Structure 1
Amino acid sequence: PFKETESEDSSGEEYVHVRVQQRNGRKCLTTVQGLGTDYNYNTILKDFKKDFCCNGTVVQDKELGKVIQLQGDQRKKVSNFLIT
């Protein structure tokens, strides 16, 4: 019974990573990864695009899975959106 409780505690936390990648000049790209498979990425992307007035896409990565890419520096807006 102790082994089961240890495995539950260790797998309890998953992180969502919000990063900004510099493109060229003043242009940058915001990536959101680690949301999990329970969510519909296209619906989340649609809400992001409408609320933040930017363009974006969902990219399938071999290592990271599905990643949402948004144009511009949207870090604060994405984190506020996900928290509330």
Structure 2
Amino acid sequence: MSGIQNLQTYDPFTEASSESGNRQEAVIHIRIQQRNGRKTLTTVSGISDAYDKKKLVKVFKKEFACNGTVVEHPEHGEVIQLQGDKRNSICEFLLQINLAKKSQLKVHGF
């Protein structure tokens, strides 16, 4: 038992790197949906298929302290849903990890 296997660091964004750096070219839409009462959902659509959305959700959940999931939308394809109004946090995070440029992020809502 001399070698412990689980001590390597893991970056969920490394496997999605492409020739154009770590950025995608399409527009990412960040929307808010009203549920019942004061409850809201934040949806993120338009993320490239080169990125594993389930791993992104896992990072979002840990970073923003909320629950989230990936759902299949008939019009937009796979969409990330997060509980609460996380529009500004998601924008800042996507820019911080160099996933998208400022011009690629479209925030919709109230």
Residue of structure 2 equivalent to 1:34: 46
Q: Deviations over 1:39-72 (max 9, x none)?
A: 0001100000000000010001122111000000
Q: Could you tell me how far apart the structure 2 residues matched to 1:20 and 1:57 are?
A: 15
Q: Which runs of 5+ in 2 are unaligned?
A: 1-24, 97-110
Same amino acid, percent of matched pairs = 54
- Aligned letter for 1:62? P
Could you say what secondary structure the match of 1:51 adopts?
helix
Q: Could you tell me how far apart the structure 1 residues matched to 2:26 and 2:67 are?
A: 27
Q: Could you tell me how far apart the structure 2 residues matched to 1:64 and 1:18 are?
A: 12
CA RMSD of aligned residues (A): 0.8
The alignment covers a number of residue pairs equal to 72
Task: Give the helix-richer structure, 1 or 2.
Answer: 1
Q: Within the alignment, does 1:79 sit opposite 2:79 as a pair?
A: no
Could you say what secondary structure the match of 2:81 adopts?
strand
Q: Could you tell me how far apart the structure 1 residues matched to 2:49 and 2:43 are?
A: 17
Residue of structure 2 equivalent to 1:19: 31
Residue of structure 2 equivalent to 1:59: 71
Normalized against structure 1, the TM-score is what? Answer: 0.82
Q: Which runs of 5+ in 1 are unaligned?
A: 1-12
